[in-house]
Amino acid sequence: MNILKNKKAIIGISAAMVVFAAIIILITGFDGIDSDKIEGTEYAQLTYAPNVPQTIERDHPTKVIVKLETIQVTGRLADGVNYNFWTFGGKVPGEMIRVREGDEVEFHLENSPLCNVPHSIDLHAVSGPGGGAVASQTIPGHSSVFTFKAEHAGLYVYHCATQPVPLHIANGMYGLIYVQPKRNLPAADQEYYIMQSEFYTNGNYGDQGLQDFSLDKALAENPTYVVFNGAVGALTGDNAIHAKVGQTIRLFVGNIGPNLTSSFHIIGVVFNKVYLFGGTEVTQKNVQTVNIPAGGAAVVDFKVDVPGTFAIVDHSIFRAFNKGAVGSLVVTGEQNKDIFSGKQQDNLFYGSNLDKEVQTSTIQSVSDNSSSSGSIEDIIAAGKKVFSTTCFACHQLDAKGVPNLFPPLAGSDFLNANKERAIGIVLHGKNGPVTVNGKNFNNVMPPQPLNDDQIAAVLTYVYHSFGNSGKTVTKDEVAKIRSQKQVSLK
């Protein structure tokens, strides 16, 4: 039977062709078929966490030159805690690299003459011996060059792979390389780079001074620190990541371990799309927590519809609470009560029949290791840290509070009127109605588990900032009020 001679068949064919053309154009976005010829040469843009190199707009592969320097630096692991980091580019994690699928990457690894061990790089995106590690083995004061084809799109970890490999990783030598697919993922409004890792120190969490690597703890897989972006607090306070209500946020998340698998979670956020293991396909929609293996990665896309500060955690939660695995995403914009109402009712509750015992909580005093002496500037700086890790959650970073919920500390008549009362509230908490700058509040502030130094510092900081009266609070004044037991706060 001759199809072409039949009029109806021809109409059918034409209709199908139109439909297909439309579908293909829809899928490819008019890009047509990309060129696969390598044209031109450029230097890769490299960024330090949490920043991500800009989207590559090219529609063809090119030769990309990447230069990374390995260098050993002593830096901050936590407040008052230093560590001899081994790094790519002087920071932990190393610089993020972005290339496009099909690019020819000429990689220069330069080992600083100040280093005292050889280094190399194993890029998980590379197909070849050691992921480039054999070709890039480099003694201090030398540099190595090798070239690879970025064949496989996706998000990949890189790390040093010189013997003993676990030591090089534990000391900080890792980062992410993103091989952007030819057909890029849908555009996101904000992109950020987060890397989880562990540190093993001879001292305990928070022990002050320069800390040595502990082989015993590393072998026991019992880290002293689990952190985002190389240090406790490297993703909070001034280092928090930001977005606006309604924006699409894309996180490129890596986990190097060296031992632990991450249970990556953002409190109060559902990941709309997850590209599990850093691959290029959406593997799940609407995910709460993403597993990221050691030496693996994930890309997550989500939108936040209400303003606020959202905690980024490893939901293996002791790591977040006790070992440093916390970051902050600060979202600004208009409230949307349809999405989240805030607290609508606060009623008395006398306990169910199941409740027979009332547990009392005691105030735990934090060990006395924060900066106790020093100039007023030091005290204010220490106070700012306490404020931005503790108080800001309710009173906000600008200390203006939240209308109807948390009273302002900025230019607060209530605060400035009575210093002793303020000390008492931080020490013992506050429950019930209060009027601040003519506005009424009725809420609960829990007692703060801070030591005398910290309370003195944070109150001095608040009094010296936000248009307040400039009072200074001393450690002795706090100690005196602490010893008075519960005075009348009402």
Partner 1 sequence: MNFRILNIVILIFAITAGSLAQFKSELEIHSKKILISCGYYVPLFKDDGESSKFFVKSFYLDSKPVSNGEFLEFVKAKPQWRKSKVKRIFADANYLRKWKGDLQLGKDVKAEDPVCNVSWFAANAYCRWAGKRLPTVNEWEYAYSKNFFNHKNELNSGNSFYEWTFDFNRINFQASSVCGGAGASANDPKNYSAFLRFSFRNSLKANYCLNDLGFSCVADSNKIPSEVIYSENY
Partner 2 sequence: MKKYLIGFVSVVIVVFAVMIYINSSNKTLIIKKDQNDFVQVNNSKENDKESCCVIELKTSDHSENSIYNLESIWKDQNGNKVELKNFVGKKIILAMIYASCPTVCPVIVSNMKNLELAIPHNELNNYHFVLVSIDPDRDTPEKLNQYAVERNLDAKTWTLLSGSKNDVAELAEMIGFNYKKNANGTFTHSNLITFLDKHGMILNQSENLNQSSKNLLAMLNK
Residue 73 is a binding residue for partner 2 (CB under 8 A): no
Closest approach, Cβ 84 to partner 2, in A, equals 22
Candidate list 26, 33, 187, 348; residue touching partner 2; CB under 8 A: 33
Residues 105-164 that bind partner 2 (CB under 8 A): 106, 110, 113, 141-142, 149
Within 190-325, strands assigned E span 190-199, 209-211, 225-228, 241-244, 248-257, 262-266, 271-275, 284-287, 289-292, 296-303, 308-314
In the list partner 1, partner 2, none, the entry touching 139 (Cβ below 5 to 8 angstroms by class) is partner 1
End-to-end CA distance of the chain: give it in Å, rounded.
Answer: 97
Euclidean distance between CA atoms 219 and 291, whole angstroms: 22
Cβ atoms of 477 and 419 closer than 8 Å: yes
- Binding status of residue 417 toward partner 2 by CB under 8 A: no
Q: Which one among 90, 140, 246, 293 touches partner 1, defined by CB under 8 A?
A: 140
Angle between helices 452-463 and 419-428 (to 10 degrees): 130
Roughly what angle, to the nearest 10 degrees, separates helices 419-428 and 475-483? 60
Does position 40 interact with partner 2 (CB under 8 A)? The reply is yes
- Cβ closer to partner 1: 117 or 397? 117
Residue 39 in the binding site for partner 2 (CB under 8 A): yes
User: Is 474 within 8 Å of 459 (Cβ atoms)?
Assistant: no
Task: Confirm or reject binding of residue 60 to partner 2 (CB under 8 A).
Answer: no
Contacted entry of partner 1, partner 2, none for residue 171, CB cut-off 5 to 8 Å set by kind: partner 1
Say if CB 70 and CB 138 are below 8 A apart.
Answer: yes
Tokens 């000390």 appear where? 423
Asked whether 474 and 456 are in contact (CB, 8 A), the reply is: yes
For residue 367, the number of C-alpha atoms closer than 13 Å in the C-beta half-sphere is 6
167 binds partner 1 (CB under 8 A): yes
Q: Which stretch binds partner 2 (CB under 8 A): 57-65, 173-181, 288-296, 344-352?
A: 57-65
With CB under 8 A, what is the number of residues at the site for partner 2?
A: 33
Does residue 294 belong to the site contacting partner 1 (CB under 8 A)? Answer: no
Least Å from the CB of residue 405 to partner 2: 52
What are the C-alpha distances in Å from 265 to residues 107, 118, 193, 317? 34, 36, 15, 10
How far apart CA 160 and CA 366 sit, in angstroms, is: 38
Residue among 52 and 78 whose Cβ is closer to partner 1: 78
For residue 27, report the phi and psi dihedrals to the nearest 5 degrees. -70, -45
Q: Does 363 bind partner 1 (CB under 8 A)?
A: no
Strand 174-180 and strand 241-244: the pairing is unpaired
Residues 42-81, interacting with partner 1 (CB under 8 A): 72, 74
Which residues form the interface with partner 2 (CB under 8 A)? 3, 6, 8-13, 15-17, 20, 33-34, 36-43, 61, 63, 65, 102, 104, 106, 110, 113, 141-142, 149
Which residues form the interface with partner 1 (CB under 8 A)? 72, 74, 83-84, 86, 113, 116-118, 120, 122, 130, 133-134, 137-142, 161-165, 167, 171, 212-213, 215, 219
